[in-house]
Structure 1
Amino acid sequence: MKNSIRKWLTVLIPLLIGIGIIYYQFSTLTSEEIEKIKISFEKANYYYILLSLVIACLGYWSRAYRWKYALNHLGYQTKFFNNFFTVAVSYLVNLTVPRSGEISRAALLKKYEDVPFDKAFGTIVAERIVDLLIFLFFVCIGVISQYELIYKFLISKNVSLVTFLYFIIGAVILGVIFLLIWIYAEWKIIKLLKEKLSGLVEGMTTIFKMKDKWKYIFHSFFIWFSYLTMFYVAVFALPETSEISFDIVIMGFIFGSLAVGFSNGGLGAYPFSIALIFSLYGIANDIGTAFGWLVWTSQTILAVVLGLVSYLLLPIFNRNK
């Protein structure tokens, strides 16, 4: 009973957050602004939206190809189409419960390639760590290039630089304490966790030992390059955003990526964050909202269609297994 309630809550809470953000966003818009958003959707150049989806597919392909190197290092020669299909399904599952796609991805690979779940999941966790580091690289570029604007924004929200630095220092200290406990503590629960996560750790450390680590790193950067390019290409779909500078694109991309984790696939949160960031650069709220929903809707449709097709194709391509 408790597990059932917990599962429902993991779905409903992010969904309710997304619905709440949508309600708030559109309740603050005037009827004239809502009408302009509709017009923006009607007049958008969908050639650029289609091109952004093609680039997104390259990201899917590169993610599936990168996974091959980690799995090969562990001694598992998986078929590329199984890697690709499971990646596509994971994007679809992430639309229901944030980050649950990683579990389904490892489970499907276990089913169709007989790769142990813990080791497959470990390689996925390793990917997420690498992805996080690359994303932080983008964040650093954005913060450095837009320091003055961010500082003024924090001041306007009564957040001092000292408070922000205290938060960062506190987070680093807690992280170091946790790391020291994990490495040196002889507590029974820590030993038990280490034992249970042995396969997970093996998968996570593959990147440092694998033969093709530089190819792995190349694909890691290519994946994020495709994400950024996908977002950049989409700005040309609306006349009002087609001439914005690249630094605005970087900031929109960063905050849009952060917003995805707040609700189911970024429902509500993604368009809201894009509109908020664009407004800091003087872009009208209705235009920022229209652009955010245009990108989010197209990417969500791609994830749903590609995920469903991949899920149906998995048993067909593996019928001789």
Structure 2
Amino acid sequence: MIKKIKKISFITLPIALGVFLIWYSTSKLSASDIESIKLSFKTANYWWVVLSLVFGILSHLSRAYRWQFLLEPLGYKPRFANSVMAVLIAYLLNLFIPRSGEIARAASIKKYENIPFEKGFGTIVAERVADVIMLLIIIGIAFFLQADLIGSYIFKDNNESNLFSKIAILAALALIGFFTYRFLGKSKNPFIVKVISFANGLIDGAKSIFTMKKKWKFIFHTVFIWLMYVLMFYVVTFALPETTNLPFEAIIVGFVVGGLSMALTNGGLGTYPVFVASALILYHIEDNPARAFGWIMWTAQTIMVIIFGSLSFVLIPIYNKYQKK
């Protein structure tokens, strides 16, 4: 009974949180705010949004191609079309049930390419390690770009150089992180043990990337995927006049905040627009255009996933039936 409640909560709570955030954020808007946001939607240049979706499609194709480098050493070489459709189906299902997409992806490749589920799922986990590492790198870049703000609180003397502030802060954080890791590694607390185990898994995963046969191709596609993600976010800033001149650090911070919000609810439902808008407001973008940008960005991504994921769901059995004939 308890396990059943946990499963139901795991599915419903993120959706409930997303719906609540949508209601809460919209309930605070006045009639003029709503009209302003509607005007931003009407006057937005959607060619930039289309270009953003092109970058998104390229990232999905690259992800499917990168998957080959992990499956090939195991003796499997699935058809590229099946890999692409399995990836798109995974994105679609993750909109409704958290982490169900990874299971569906491994199940799809098992059904249509006869790759054992556990092996397919293992390669997906390895992919996730690479993606987490890339996300941490981008978070580090965002922090580095914003170190001046933190440095202004740490270094009261305005004569301190910006570069010195950044290096000093990053060095201090690195030392704190290292000693915290070493200290927690001795802990017997179950939660801390899991965290340390996860961190060790990331380290082992990073090491395995550099020992694989086609490591440079894998690394290239990993960097390419995340570059496409950043470009997806960046080009949409040109869709609204208020966000056209955002500085690079605002782009990176907004991207990171939006990416982290995806972990809270299914596909960033409710969280993505709110979090991204909050980040843009820090860079003196007015509230309503910032909200409009967040909603345009999230809506475009979600529609893309629903359309291509649904098509893949329908076409994958037809494609494989045709291939057999």
Please indicate the TM-score interval, normalised by the length of the shorter structure.
0.7 to 0.9
Matched with 1:217 is 219
Matched with 2:320 is 318
Matched with 1:144 is 144
How much does 1:107 deviate? 1.2
TM-score norm. by structure 2 comes to: 0.83
Structure 1 residues 50 and 11: CA distance shift in structure 2, 3 A: same
How much does 1:246 deviate? 1.4
The residue matched to 1:261 in structure 2 has which SS? coil
Give yes or no for contact 2:257–2:276 (8 Å, CA) kept in 1.
yes
Give yes or no for contact 2:130–2:205 (8 Å, CA) kept in 1.
no
Matched with 1:197 is none
Matched with 1:172 is 181
How much does 1:210 deviate? 2.6
Give yes or no for contact 1:120–1:203 (8 Å, CA) kept in 2.
no
Once residues 224 and 264 of structure 2 are traced to their aligned partners in structure 1, the CA distance between those partners, rounded to angstroms, is 25
Q: Which amino acid aligns with 1:33?
A: D
Once residues 100 and 152 of structure 1 are traced to their aligned partners in structure 2, the CA distance between those partners, rounded to angstroms, is 44
How much does 1:117 deviate? 1.3
Matched with 2:134 is 134
The one of 280, 287, 299 aligned to 2:301 = 299
Q: Which amino acid aligns with 2:185?
A: V
Matched with 1:11 is 11
Structure 1 residues 227 and 153: CA distance shift in structure 2, 3 A: farther
Alignment deviations for residues 12-33 of structure 1 (CA, whole Å, 9 cap, x no partner): 1000111121122122322211
Alignment deviations for residues 174-221 of structure 1 (CA, whole Å, 9 cap, x no partner): 763489x9xxx9xxxxxxxxxxxxxxxx99986344321110010000
Q: Which amino acid aligns with 1:100?
A: S
Give yes or no for contact 2:130–2:206 (8 Å, CA) kept in 1.
no
Map residues 21-60 of structure 1 onto 2, 5 A cutoff: 21-60=21-60
Once residues 175 and 303 of structure 1 are traced to their aligned partners in structure 2, the CA distance between those partners, rounded to angstroms, is 40
Matched with 2:263 is 261
Count residues with an aligned counterpart.
293
How much does 1:114 deviate? 1.3
Matched with 2:100 is 100
Matched with 1:91 is 91
TM-score norm. by structure 1 comes to: 0.84
Once residues 313 and 247 of structure 1 are traced to their aligned partners in structure 2, the CA distance between those partners, rounded to angstroms, is 41
Q: Does 1:119 align with 2:119?
A: yes
Structure 1 residues 55 and 147: CA distance shift in structure 2, 3 A: same
The residue matched to 2:263 in structure 1 has which SS? helix
How much does 1:7 deviate? 3.2
Matched with 2:248 is 246
Which ranges in structure 1 are unaligned for 5 or more consecutive residues? 155-160, 186-201
Once residues 56 and 300 of structure 2 are traced to their aligned partners in structure 1, the CA distance between those partners, rounded to angstroms, is 11
Matched with 2:77 is 77
Structure 1 residues 103 and 175: CA distance shift in structure 2, 3 A: farther
Q: Which amino acid aligns with 1:82?
A: N
How much does 1:77 deviate? 1.3
Matched with 1:192 is none
How much does 1:98 deviate? 2.6
Which ranges in structure 2 are unaligned for 5 or more consecutive residues? 155-168, 194-203
The residue matched to 1:296 in structure 2 has which SS? helix
Once residues 187 and 117 of structure 2 are traced to their aligned partners in structure 1, the CA distance between those partners, rounded to angstroms, is 26
Q: Which amino acid aligns with 1:298?
A: A
Matched with 2:63 is 63
Once residues 110 and 313 of structure 2 are traced to their aligned partners in structure 1, the CA distance between those partners, rounded to angstroms, is 15
The residue matched to 1:262 in structure 2 has which SS? coil
